[in-house]
Amino acid sequence: MTERPEGAPPQQQPQPQDQPSASPPVPPPGQAPPQTPTQAEIPAQPAPAPAQTPAPAQAQAPTQAAVPSAYPYPNPQSPAGYGPPVAATTAQANPYGQPPGGYPSGGYPPGGYPPLGAPPATGAGGRAVLWALVGAAVASAAWAGGVFLLGKDDTEADLRGYRAKSDICPSVDYSSFKNEYPEEDDAPVNNSLKHAAIDQSYCSISLKESSSSTISDAYFSVQMDLHKKTDPGPEFTALWSEYDQRYDDYEVEKVDGFGDEAYLITEDTTSGDDTSGSRSATLAVRDGWMTYEMRWSAYGSSYDNVSMPDVDEVVEWLKNDTNATLDNLRESDGI
């Protein structure tokens, strides 16, 4: 073997970042040249500098013909050096499908979205989503069926021919009270309310025993409500049938002969010949979606020379005048 002459520069090893030359370097004198592949085995394009020293001389390269590459550098999956080229990868039919090796992030491509055509989720989570969708569909179908069967809530109000009035007092009949209170009220109070949900008419009349009375000897009022959106039946029953829950002095009696249902509410806090205290009577009537109350009340004290009629007598007056007043309100013109 010939030794390297003195003073000759040391042989430079190729670095990984250097680009390969068109032909392999010539070995220094006295060193056996490395075995190179045949012409058929040499890749069509020059390979980058190997990261390690070339394979030993005795290693034989396979005789398989290299596949030409469209890129100037070897396939990244190929081993460094002049190893055998990797066969070209067949293009996938679906350009948006998941690559064979999976995505580096663990299941999704860059951008955070799952690949198109992903199979439906299975397991507990998938079943929960499936049942949620099925439940929503069933609920929608049930709602649609209910609307189809029941229709819209457009029930017409059952007003039985009653009409609300802005001045209801002229339609109020209180003739049964005029024997006890003969003095006429020249300025009765009329109130009314008209709304899409309810029409209301109210009248208040001051009852006096004589013209010398400076204040009212008794108070009398009538109110009629026409419920045009909701049936007042359940609330009317609850309010008047349990009216005695408010005060111990009230007594409740259900009476017949007035509309669909009627209740008589009475109160008397006087005792014996002592007229100090209060007496009152109310007749409440519901006829369809119309509700009505006629009220009477009187107050006395030991300082006043006031006589009050008995409650039982007033009850009969209320019954007579209620029938006459309801007839007038059915026949009268509305607001």
Nearest 5°: the CA angle 224, 225, 227 is 155
> Could you write out the DSSP letters of every residue in 244-279?
GGT-TTEEEEEESSSSSEEEEEEEE--BTTB--EEE
333: pLDDT confidence band, cut at 50, 70 and 90?
low
Question: What backbone torsions phi and psi does residue 316 show, to the nearest 5 degrees?
Answer: -65, -35
d(CA 325, CA 86): 107
pLDDT at res. 154: 63
The letter for the amino acid at 145 is G
Q: CB of 169 within 8 A of CB of 201?
A: no
Q: How many residues does the chain have?
A: 335
d(CA 72, CA 44): 9
Q: Report whether pLDDT(312) > 70.
A: yes
Listed residue (194, 254, 257) closest to 224, CA to CA: 194
d(CA 127, CA 296): 70
What percent of the chain shows pLDDT beyond 70? 51
Q: How far is CA 88 from the centre of its chain?
A: 58
Please, which residues bridge with residue 281 across strands? 266, 296
pLDDT at res. 113: 46
Taking only the tens place, the pLDDT of each residue in 156-200 is 899 999 988 899 999 999 999 999 999 999 899 999 999 999 999
d(CA 281, CA 307): 16
pLDDT at res. 131: 57
Mean pLDDT of 238-262: 94
d(CA 199, CA 182): 32
Mean pLDDT of 205-214: 87
Q: Report whether pLDDT(83) > 70.
A: no
Bigger pLDDT: 85 or 163? 163
Taking only the tens place, the pLDDT of each residue in 30-62 is 555 555 554 544 455 555 555 554 444 444 444
pLDDT at res. 271: 80
pLDDT at res. 70: 46
The sheet with strand 277-287 has its strands ordered as: 189-194, 198-207, 218-227, 290-300, 277-287, 261-268, 250-255
Q: What is the pTM of this model?
A: 0.55
The letter for the amino acid at 102 is G
Nearest 5°: the CA angle 74, 78, 80 is 85
The letter for the amino acid at 134 is V
pLDDT at res. 223: 97
Q: CB of 168 within 8 A of CB of 192?
A: yes
Mean pLDDT of 259-280: 89
218: pLDDT confidence band, cut at 50, 70 and 90?
very high
pLDDT at res. 170: 94
pLDDT at res. 124: 55
Residues 6+ apart with CB under 8 A from 271: 277
219: pLDDT confidence band, cut at 50, 70 and 90?
very high
Cα four-point dihedral sign 332, 204, 318, 241: positive
Q: Report whether pLDDT(232) > 90.
A: yes
Please, which residues bridge with residue 189 across strands? 204
> Could you write out the DSSP letters of every residue in 56-119?
PTTPPPP-PPPPP-SSSS--TTSPSSS-PPPPPPPPPSSTTSPPTT--TTSSS-TTS-PPTTPP
